[in-house]
Structure 1
Amino acid sequence: MAKKSLSYHDRFTRAMLANPRVIEEFFRKNLPDQVRDSLDFSSIQLQQESFIGDNLKTQIVDLLYKADFHGRPGFLYLLIEHASKADPLLPFRLLKYIVAIMEHHLKTTETKELPLVYPLILYTGKRPYNHTVDLFDLFPKEDRDMARETLMSPYHLVDLTQVSDNELRMHLWYGTMAQVLKHIYDEDIYPFFKVLIEPLKVIEVQGEESYINTIVTYVMGFGETPHQEDLYKVVKTLKTVDEEKLMTLAEYLKPKIYQRGIEQGLEQGLEKGLEKGLEQGLAEGAEKSKIEIARSMLVKGTDTEFIMSVTGLSQEEITKLMN
């Protein structure tokens, strides 16, 4: 009986709030002055999209109206709550719906500008709504000011292109990693790595073999240099780098089959003529190549942990290749 009554409630609410006169009067009555004054009421159009999950559709109605604010496209989002018990996390749920609306707008219009989405909640429960409608009240009291500042301020960007190497060298662990990320696209990685070898030796003394191997794998796998032999000689000065593993890297990490896989991926993506196709083609080509590399390394007897670090394949995927 409850589901039936909610279904009637849903149909009634949708029918009423699809009526242009009801829509205009409702928004004129309930919008704040600033929003109301910027809104072109003649532009309001009910949309078909819904952004609530199926599990909540017996408790909630959501209506999306496209509208112009100061001549620019935006949305009015009306969430109608007719559940018997109010949801204390409603502000968080509403935030997710707003983000979903923005994402849908970006996909359908292919624009790079976010639309204004003004949310309203029409609560029709049996008792007065007794929870907060402020998102930041959902955080612990001690964290609310920081949460507000974090979410409502410009995000913190660490742009390594604007940080000097000298500044990064002041921080051994983070700084070494950051320098590698900063220089990995150098046309020739060798001059940078010759300088990097000294902090790597300091780290090596502290017994961080995994850290060293991760950096060496990354640099040799993705860095470019016409001085490969010189690069190998410098890497070999690190005592924790196994020479057999080093030669495995040289032989397998950038073989022709890997390049061929990338080229096949590009070709497949371009044939599809869509960005999505290109991305999928690249991913499929690279994935096939990683599997070929892993198979070759297994034949050579390379240990699985090293294969995992080089190819990015999981233990389960490598085990399947062994069978």
Structure 2
Amino acid sequence: MSRHDHAYRSLFGHPSMVADLLRGIVRQDWIAGLDLSTLERVNGEHVAGLRQRRSSDMVWRAKQYERPSHLYVLLEFQSRSDAHMALRILTYLSLLYEDIKRQGKLLPRGRLPAAVPIVIYNGLPRWRSARQVAELIEPVSGLQEHVPTLRYLLLDQGALLARGDLPAGNLATLLFRLEHARSEDELRQALQGLIGRLHGPAFEDLQRTFVAWLRDVLLPARAPGVSISAITTLHEPEAMIVEEKIDWSLRWKQQGLQEGRQQGLREGRREGHQEGRREGESLLLRRQLVRRFGALPKQVDRRLTQAGSEELQAWAMNVLDARTLEEVFRGASHVQ
């Protein structure tokens, strides 16, 4: 289990986090029928027929107001897109139902309780994988009714934040905002919101969990090479970030560079150049510059053609926050 997944299991091991996630982020009609004060954690580990242990990240359940039964919520935490997530979810749900049957917890007339699988994704690129298991299966005419139709509920943090309608004081919203903070100001606002939301002795345990996540997961990932002091309260990260002069936008710069490399490699392979990687990076950077600053001077075009891979990568980092064409090439000779 990755450090990210372990930390998310700790954060969403608190019923307040799960309740806020359902009320403020999911916001679907079926949630009104749940008594969220009855939320309880369920063992998410199941044993398959060949005694191979399989585990969904987390399972919760809550009583329903108008039914004598619980509704189950499966939570999966992802930092990368998984092309076969729909198949994994189908497996987890099937094993959960087998476990419920084995324990004799079936409803009257042998029915299984309702369950909803939720995938929480914190990566920067938008989630592109199939959300319906039927999309993974080769279609055959006449067999449509025999194809599984399970669809999981996706919570793509970046897409939800971009939509701009998440409740401000919601615990899950604040977690998402911390994950995707692009600047010190955004981080500071999210931290202040979290401090206000977790005020009081009832939230002491969750406060400690957030502090551990900030210290052990979020800050080390955003500030590689920076010595993270022994943070013990939610008030300390802000002072540390200012003192260490952490570039909070580095994650986006690295992601942009990585995507540029990948696209450059694809461009290079398609064009059949021996120096496909370098030429692909040059082509991508040229397109970015034209889109940002308009037609390029001949000197710039010539520089891009002659530049090595390291120079191109450095300029690709600069273009993300440069205000002028000259600033893209800072550290190089003057560009007119």
TM-score range, shorter chain: 0.3 to 0.5
More RCO (CA 8 Å, sep 6+)? 2
Q: Which has the higher helix share?
A: 1
